[in-house]
């Protein structure tokens, strides 16, 4: 007979949002040794690699993104109507999600990401050219913030004169994650409308004159005669903007913060650029910008002898999974030549596994290749200011770097 989750005596994870990363790792490792579940101020958390994977692969657990409004007790008919008419791949489940994913997946292969590699390199070179001779910069504002937007725009086929507009709309659409829909919903909906209108026009143009870009691929994408309609195409564009910009910029900042503190690894990458793909995987394991994800039980679920009643929320810890010493030899060592361990969890797992993983990998690899060549002996040039750990997508707020 399974024990209801509310009756378990679980270790408590008490994170100070500004605690140090190594302290957090220590706290989570202690909890991992006691139990596969822990209590946090936000609810129950799964801490071990195998259980995080099992739960994310179990289709009875649904993405909590679908509950954003409900969790904030935000009850607004316009919001509800728009979100039921315009389903996002990020929060749909079951056959709707399978259908979307089947149609769009062929447009997100490593080969289509490779198409953009020369563009990625040139964006990075252009960003650093103005200050590289100074030998120092504030890396978040000057490099991470501006890096992903032109790439997402190029991916979607939006011309350079619209990049500014995309950045502006992204800022408002991102308010979705601020936890304050009561205040932010009007700005979010206005930005969504503007973006949808813009994409509708771009879709007309691409239908008339196909190009080498994701939008053209998505328009052409079909699975046994089934295609995305215009509204679905617009939703995909927004999902890509939402999921693909802040993640990449924070992950790049995490990478450089790590390398600045591990000069021998930076030197290794500089001397052996062929290590770039492994370096990205190790950076994402060691200091992932996405710390975990949340699911809710779509029905009563029994797992590992525990009963989770329908509606239970559960957080999965990528930090716990990525440092689980049953999966990684010397999990605490940052080593870009590491091989033969389990894949990191920072792209998630199961049906919502990051659709843009190939693109994100290419963006990070190309960025690190340019930077390791042009910023030798990179080091900290002041204190790193970190975002509080309770934000969904995490990394340095301020990262002062200097190089030789
Ligand atoms: C380093 C950068 C990135 C990280 C760490 C990351 C991480 C993740 C994670 C953890 C998920 C799963 C969320 C969950 O299960 O609740 C996810 C989903 C997703 N990501 Fe990424 N992502 C990154 C970059 C990108 C990029 C560049 C794109 C755009 C092309 C993208 C598009 C998506 C989409 C569309 C989904 C939803 C997939 C689905 O629900 O089926 N991501 N990402």
If you measure from the C-alpha of residue 122 to the centroid of ligand 1, how many angstroms do you get, rounded to a whole number?
24
- Residue pair 276/369 in contact (Cβ under 8 Å)? The answer is yes
pLDDT of residue 82: 86
pLDDT of residue 166: 87
pLDDT tens, residue by residue, 78-91? 998 888 878 889 98
- Residue pair 25/318 in contact (Cβ under 8 Å)? The answer is no
Q: Report the nearest atom of ligand 1 relative to the CA of 351.
A: 41
pLDDT tens, residue by residue, 91-149? 899 999 999 999 999 889 999 899 999 999 999 999 999 999 999 999 999 999 999 99
Mutation to probe ligand 1, out of 155, 356, 362 (largest number of atoms < 8 A from CB): 356
pLDDT tens, residue by residue, 288-328? 999 999 999 999 999 999 999 999 999 999 999 999 999 99
H or E, element range at 163: helix 163-173
Pocket of ligand 1 (CB under 6 A): 63, 89-90, 101, 239-240, 243-244, 247-248, 251, 289-290, 293, 346-348, 352, 354-356, 359-360
Burial class from Cβ neighbours inside 10 Å (0-12, 13-18, 19+) for residue 180 reads exposed
pLDDT of residue 310: 97
If you measure from the C-alpha of residue 349 to the centroid of ligand 1, how many angstroms do you get, rounded to a whole number?
10
| Reported confidence tier of residue 391, pLDDT bands at 50, 70, 90 | confident
pLDDT tens, residue by residue, 341-373? 899 999 999 999 999 999 999 999 999 999 999
Rounded to an integer, what distance in angstroms lies between the CA atom of residue 315 and that of residue 318?
Answer: 10
pLDDT of residue 348: 98
pLDDT tens, residue by residue, 17-35? 778 888 889 899 999 999 9
Alpha-carbon separation of residue 397 from 21, 59, 254, 391, 393 (angstroms) = 15, 35, 10, 12, 11
Alpha-carbon separation of residue 235 from 103, 172, 295 (angstroms) = 14, 16, 22
């Amino acid at each position: 007979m399974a024990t209801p989750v509310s009756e378990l005596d679980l270790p408590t994870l008490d994170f100070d949002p500004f605690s140090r990363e190594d302290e957090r790792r220590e706290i989570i490792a202690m909890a991992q040794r006691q139990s596969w579940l822990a209590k946090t101020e936000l609810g129950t958390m799964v801490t071990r690699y195998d259980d995080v994977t099992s739960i994310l692969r179990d289709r009875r657990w649904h993405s909590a993104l679908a509950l954003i409004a409900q969790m904030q007790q935000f009850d607004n008919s316009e919001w509800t109507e728009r979100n039921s008419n315009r389903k996002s791949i990020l929060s749909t489940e079951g056959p709707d999600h399978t259908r979307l994913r089947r149609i769009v997946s062929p447009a997100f292969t490593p080969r289509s990401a490779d198409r953009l590699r020369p563009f990625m390199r040139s964006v990075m070179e252009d960003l650093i050219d103005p200050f590289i001779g100074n030998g120092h910069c504030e890396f978040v504002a000057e490099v991470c913030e501006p890096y992903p937007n032109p790439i997402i725009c190029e991916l979607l086929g939006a011309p350079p004169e619209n990049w500014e507009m995309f950045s502006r709309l992204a800022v408002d659409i991102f308010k979705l994650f601020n936890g304050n829909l009561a205040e932010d919903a009007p700005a979010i909906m206005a930005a969504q409308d503007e973006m949808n209108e813009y994409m509708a026009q771009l879709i007309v143009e691409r239908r008339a004159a196909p190009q080498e870009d994701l939008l053209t691929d998505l328009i052409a994408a079909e699975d046994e005669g089934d295609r995305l309609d215009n509204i679905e195409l617009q939703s995909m564009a927004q999902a890509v903007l939402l999921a693909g910009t802040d993640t990449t910029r924070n992950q790049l900042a995490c990478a450089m913060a790590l390398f600045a503190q591990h000069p021998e690894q930076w030197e290794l990458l500089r001397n052996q650029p062929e290590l770039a793909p492994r370096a990205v995987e190790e950076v994402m394991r060691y200091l992932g910008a996405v710390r975990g994800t949340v699911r809710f039980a779509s029905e009563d679920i029994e797992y590992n002898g525990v009963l989770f009643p329908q509606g239970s929320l559960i957080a999965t810890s990528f930090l716990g999974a990525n440092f689980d010493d049953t999966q990684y030899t010397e999990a605490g060592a940052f080593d870009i030549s590491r091989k033969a361990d389990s894949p990191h969890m920072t792209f998630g797992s199961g049906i919502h596994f990051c659709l843009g993983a190939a693109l994100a990998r290419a963006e990070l690899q190309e960025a690190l290749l340019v930077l390791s060549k042009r910023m030798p002996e990179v080091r900290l040039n002041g204190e790193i200011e970190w975002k509080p750990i309770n934000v969904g997508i995490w990394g340095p707020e301020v990262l002062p770097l200097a190089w030789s």
